[in-house]
Amino acid sequence: MTTLFLHIALLFSLIAPKSFLPIVGDWTMSKDVVQVDGRQWIKGQPSAGLAANARRIYGAHHEEFIDSVKAYAYFPYAVARDVDDFRDGEISMRFRLISGQLDQCAGILFNLKTNGDYLTVRFNGKEDNLVLWTFKNGKRSFVKKGTENVHLNMGDWHRMKIATSGTTLRGYLDDKLLLEYTLAEPVSGKVGLWSKTDSVSQFADFDVQKATPAAH
């Protein structure tokens, strides 16, 4: 395994985003913008710093996490450094789609577990929709599509937000509610940015607002 990660490190020259830990794919940061470049997606490689970053996130559990990541190597994502356990609240970010022949994706990663399972709400410019996906036990599954298709021009900035309360999930695009779903269980886990295959996308203003516990 050590030899594999050394080989990956030679293949990828990357400046790690200061606020995120790259797990899969090629992530860079310029000023306040985080960019994912998925043009190497065909190799299905984790990021150059996968081993070290997984250890930072999950400590003794990082080997289990790494094994799961390999099953999703075509779906780039980076984990927010300073959010240990997001439950109820809101996650928002701005994004713009730059290019992509197969996919043009940008999404919010959440509910990331120590075994590598997670959820994502993403926009795909090839399909013009906002969709909830689940990644569980090495399998990616469609969960729920937004209520309407929306066309976004390439290169324009847009805002995505998710809001969670117990098992209720809501997804917004440019402050318009497009997605509502009742989850099997409340959200609890790490969060971050997500993309797909050969997408080149940029992200900015990633913000996490945790709900204030109700007073008793």
Q: pLDDT of 93-143, one tens digit each?
A: 999 999 998 899 999 999 999 989 999 999 999 999 999 999 998 788 999
Q: How many CB atoms lie within 10 A of CB 196?
A: 27
β-partners of residue 121 are 108, 132
- Protein fold of 2-204: Jelly Rolls (2.60.120)
Of 40-49, 159-168, 180-189, the poorest mean pLDDT is in 40-49
Query: Residue 203: in which H helix or E strand, if any?
Result: strand 200-210
Of 5-9, 75-79, 169-173, the poorest mean pLDDT is in 5-9
**pLDDT at residue 83, rounded to an integer:** 92
- 50-58 and 62-69 are packed helices; what angle lies between their axes, rounded to 10 degrees? 130
β-partners of residue 97 are 201
Average pLDDT for residues 78-83, to the nearest whole number? 93
Query: What pLDDT band is residue 9 in, cutting at 50, 70 and 90?
Result: very low
